[in-house]
Amino acid sequence: MRAVKSKSYRRGRIADIQKVSGENWLEILSEVGRIAALTLELETRLNLIVELIARQTGSDACSILLMDEDRENLVLKATKGLNPMSINKVILKAGEGITGLTAKEMKVIASRNALNDPRSVYFPETWEERFKSVLSVPIMDKNDCIGVIYTQTISEKDYTENDIRLLTTIANNISWMIKNAQLYEEARQKIAELSILYEISMAMQTTINLDRLLRIILSCVTVGSALGFNRASLFLVNEKTNTLQGMMGLGPDSGEDAREIWNKLTEITNLFQWLTSQGEALGKKESSFDKFIKSTRIPITQDSGILALTVIEKKPFNIKDARNDPRVNKELLDKLGINSFATVPIITKNQVLGTIVVDNIYTNRPIRDEDLQSLVRFATHAGWAIENARLFSQLREANKDILIAEQQLIQSERLSALGQLAAELAHEIKNPLVTIGGFARRLSEKTDFSPEGKKYTDIIISEVERVEKLLKDILNYSRDVKPTFSDYNINTLIDEVLSSYERIFSDSGVIVKKELSVNIYPLHIDTSQIKQVFLNILYNAVECMTGKGGVITIKTEPLSGEEGVTISISDTGGGIPPEILDNIFNPFFTTKRQGTGLGLSLSKKIIESHGGTIGIDNRTGEGATFIINLPRRQNKIKS
Amino acid sequence: MTRKKILVVDDEENIRILYSEELQDEGYDVITASNAEDADIKIKESNPDLITLDIKMPGMDGIELLRKLREYDKNIPIVMCSAYSDYKQDFRTWASEAYIIKSSDMLELKSTIREIFKKREVGKLGD
């Protein structure tokens, strides 16, 4: 092993300049200045510099490696003499190879025969086997090494003090140029990011549909030109259940899918247009990742994992080693199939709406703190958009409620107008009716009529009676029903009704079957009103079976969903003709000669004033079942 | 025994005729009034033993008249007659002796009046 002459130089530009032979140096200095004036772009600057150095130092190759953002690796950025295709592909750790060592120890390394130098690491793709001697110099910025500049020659060369001083001096004089260009690059990236954020927020403003919006948000998080994570998922806080609810997961199911999608994504030229088209486009294909996210519910407590913590502590987490992190829920981890991921809270007005979770499952690219910062900034925008969409949907719900209430109001106003009209009409009719009937009675009593005369006056009397009864019903109906409530067992009430109807049933040849559940609550009802309802329904049932006979089945069971009772009354009277089914609950609708048509509409009004519902299950040709649902609502209705 | 005098107050002429005839058949003297002012005059003039009062009348209605009548005579029996039962719950009608819903069948009215007079008679005998 041959000893290699090495020297390290610290800063001291002016001293260096004096030591470098004057004529050569001045030319180099002016050229460096010209390059700096020519362009701000790093790539162009570096390319011009390597050419300049190769020319001025008489080297066959000159290359520049720069430290990457994490200050861990050296990356080939420009070369004159090596394969230009290897730019950005050659990556060295600090300490690795001659250049890596230069960077790590911040000293000049000269090697006469690098091919045999044990410190060398060769990269075949650079085609550098033809070069024998290497001179490698660190590029210093203050006390940091920001890169390495090195020259190579095909024939073996002993580097002189002067050679070393020349390259060191150049390195010292271009470091500010590189730094400058890097800052410019960063600023440009920041601007690009800001303009992407702008486009994203514009895209988010195009919709107030929450589902579409979430899709746009997650597309932003995953599309390469925006935030570029492999997968993203979004959870929203459900305040009622105090859980995080998985809303959507976006990301390919496999590495293959991922490549296919990313290939497509590289064709995106207009981010805004692409994002706004995402609402529909991606919605059609549901990935298993999406399904998994949508089925996930996480309680918001200290011990239910990192997602809940994100919401509770209102801060982002960058989890680098999830398996060994006690804060991470292992079950979730297995499902996600990753070891590193990040979470950010979605915050508006200091209220946490939810969290976005991202990972790089396919590229394994580590999530840097800068990535997380971008995501945090983005989440704020997303938060506002989600809040907007939510407010909108709440508004729409409220609107819908108002519309329903309005319709109910119109209906009840219509009814009350009808009621008032009926009352006035009844009053106007009642008086003449009383006189007609009253005098007809007097006629019948006072006059010695022929049998026909007697028959005619009796008809007048009975018809007047019929109209008087109708008026009484109308007035009862149109007046507000003011019930008196008490707790009562509905089974007992049914027994009472049935026993008082017993004779009518047997006379009509109707059999009554009872199926009364013992597991029912007593109801808070107006017994006389509910009795009226049963009588109305039973009366109808008996009437449609008179002469033919039949079976009435009356059944009680607990109401499903809340405390209460469902009562069903079935008959075998052939059912209700479909053409009149819609009308049976309407006031004054009747098919019977004797009825006033108020029985069922009054029943409906009574049941509704008890907070219940009445419906009909009609089996044309067989029979009909009236189904009454009565909730138990003690103290809710004032008597 | 002197014949009882009944004042029928109703804005409908035919009702007044019907009531008069029915009540005369029952053995009462009947005078009529078509409105509140008329009723006021007739009461002072004839000093009736019982008044039937229609509720819905143009001008001062039966309830208001009832209140005025009670101001200067707390005892005279008054029977409210109405086409509907709504006013039954109106506490202002409670100052009356009875509340009757008008019907072509006069049985209820007649029996109610009979009952009232019977009670009064018993009350007087007890004095």
Q: From residue A167, give the alpha-carbon distance in Å to each of A21, A182, A307, A510.
A: 12, 21, 53, 117
Mean pLDDT (chain A) is 79
Q: Using N-to-C axis directions, what is the helix angle for A369-446 and A451-478, rounded to 10°?
A: 160
A206-395 CATH: 3.30.450.40
Q: Does 3.40.50.261 match the CATH number of domain A6-189?
A: no
Architecture per CATH, domain A486-631, reads as: 2-Layer Sandwich (3.30)
B110 touches chain A (CB under 8 A): no
Between A80 and A507, the higher pLDDT residue: A80
Instruction: Report the gap between the CA of B64 and the closest CA in chain A (Å).
Output: 19
Instruction: Give the percent of chain A with pLDDT over 90.
Output: 13
CATH T-level topology, domain B5-126: Rossmann fold (3.40.50)
Contacts of A465 in chain B (CB under 8 A): 104-105
Summarised one tens digit per residue, pLDDT across range A106-146 is 999 999 888 888 888 888 888 888 888 999 999 988 888 89
Structure confidence at residue A29 as a pLDDT band (50, 70, 90) = confident
Summarised one tens digit per residue, pLDDT across range A486-497 is 788 889 889 888
Between A603 and A557, the higher pLDDT residue: A557
Structure confidence at residue A50 as a pLDDT band (50, 70, 90) = very high
Summarised one tens digit per residue, pLDDT across range A173-192 is 888 888 888 888 888 777 77
Least confident of A135-144, A161-170, A202-211, A246-255: A202-211
> Cβ contact (<8 Å) for B22 and A468?
no
Residue A194 CA to residue A604 CA, distance in Å, equals 63
What distance lies between CA B62 and its chain's CA centroid? Answer: 10
Instruction: Give the mean model confidence (pLDDT) for residues A556-565.
Output: 86
Residue A589 CA to residue A10 CA, distance in Å, equals 107
Residue A14 CA to residue A24 CA, distance in Å, equals 15
Residue in B closest to A466 by C-alpha: B104
Structure confidence at residue A90 as a pLDDT band (50, 70, 90) = confident
Q: Minimal CA–CA distance to A139: which of A11, A5, A6? A: A11
Give me the pLDDT at residue B89, please.
62
- Residue whose pair of structure tokens reads 């390919």 in the numeric block: A252
> Cβ contact (<8 Å) for A431 and B15?
yes
Mutate to test the interface with B, among A425, A428, A434 (most CBs of B within 10 A): A434
Sheet holding A108-111, edge to edge: A6-7, A108-111, A133-141, A144-153, A61-67, A73-80, A91-93
Chain B, residues 50-79, CB within 8 A of chain A, namely 56
Give me the pLDDT at residue A8, please.
42
Per-residue DSSP letters for B67-124? HHHHHH-SSS-EEEEESSGGGGG-GGGGGSSEEEE--S-THHHHHHHHHHHHHHHHHH
Looking at residue A397, its amino acid is: E
Give me the pLDDT at residue A561, please.
77
> Cβ contact (<8 Å) for A439 and B18?
yes
Question: Phi and psi at residue A343, in whole multiples of 5°?
Answer: -130, 145
Between B13 and A217, the higher pLDDT residue: B13
Contacts of A438 in chain B (CB under 8 A): 18, 22, 104-106
Q: Is the pLDDT of residue A262 over 70?
A: no
Q: Please report, to the nearest 10 degrees, the dihedral formed by the alpha carbons of residues A306, A308, A314, A315 taken in order.
A: 10
> Cβ contact (<8 Å) for B18 and A435?
yes
Q: How many CA atoms lie within 13 A of A571 on its CB side?
A: 24
Q: Is the pLDDT of residue A336 over 90?
A: no
Instruction: Give the mean model confidence (pLDDT) for residues B24-47.
Output: 92
Instruction: Give the mean model confidence (pLDDT) for residues A435-453.
Output: 89
Give me the pLDDT at residue A6, please.
41
Alpha helices in A447-547 (DSSP H): 451-478, 490-500, 502-508, 527-545
> Cβ contact (<8 Å) for B102 and A434?
yes
B12 touches chain A (CB under 8 A): yes
> Cβ contact (<8 Å) for B18 and A434?
yes
Query: For the complex shown, is ipTM > 0.90?
Result: no
Residue A612 CA to residue A531 CA, distance in Å, equals 15
Q: For A475, which of B56, B84, B103 is closest by C-beta distance? A: B84
Residue in B closest to A477 by C-alpha: B86
Structure confidence at residue B111 as a pLDDT band (50, 70, 90) = very high
Contacts of B22 in chain A (CB under 8 A): 438, 442
Question: Phi and psi at residue A132, in whole multiples of 5°?
Answer: -105, -55
B40 touches chain A (CB under 8 A): no
Q: Is the pLDDT of residue A469 over 50?
A: yes
Looking at residue A163, its amino acid is: D
Between A81 and A256, the higher pLDDT residue: A81
Instruction: Report the gap between the CA of A475 and the closest CA in chain B (Å).
Output: 7
Between A27 and A157, the higher pLDDT residue: A157
Instruction: Give the mean model confidence (pLDDT) for residues A510-532.
Output: 85
Residue in A closest to B54 by C-alpha: A431
Q: Is the pLDDT of residue A592 over 90?
A: no
Give me the pLDDT at residue A264, please.
61
Least confident of A53-67, A106-120, A246-260, A436-450: A246-260
Least confident of A200-204, A520-524, B61-65: A200-204
Q: For B102, which of A430, A436, A461 is closest by C-beta distance? A: A430
Q: Are A235 and A307 in contact (CB under 8 A)?
A: yes
- Residue whose pair of structure tokens reads 């309407």 in the numeric block: A586
Mutate to test the interface with B, among A431, A441, A469, A470 (most CBs of B within 10 A): A431
Q: Is the pLDDT of residue A638 over 60?
A: no
Structure confidence at residue A477 as a pLDDT band (50, 70, 90) = low
Instruction: Report the gap between the CA of A603 and the closest CA in chain B (Å).
Output: 21
Give me the pLDDT at residue A410, please.
66
Least confident of A217-221, A304-308, B22-26: A217-221
Between A27 and A254, the higher pLDDT residue: A27
Structure confidence at residue B50 as a pLDDT band (50, 70, 90) = very high
Give me the pLDDT at residue A479, please.
53
> For residue A51, is it left (φ>0), alpha (ψ between -120 and 50) or beta?
alpha
Residue in B closest to A438 by C-alpha: B104
> Cβ contact (<8 Å) for B86 and A475?
yes
Looking at residue A297, its amino acid is: R
Every domain of chain B and the residues it spans: 5-126
Question: Phi and psi at residue B2, in whole multiples of 5°?
Answer: -70, 150
Question: Phi and psi at residue B43, in whole multiples of 5°?
Answer: -65, -45
Q: Minimal CA–CA distance to A69: which of A375, A378, A377, A365? A: A365
B86 touches chain A (CB under 8 A): yes
Instruction: Report the gap between the CA of A436 and the closest CA in chain B (Å).
Output: 7
Q: Is the pLDDT of residue A70 over 90?
A: no
Residue A357 has a CB neighbour count (10 Å cut-off) of 25
Q: Is the pLDDT of residue A512 over 70?
A: yes
Every domain of chain A and the residues it spans: 6-189, 206-395, 486-631
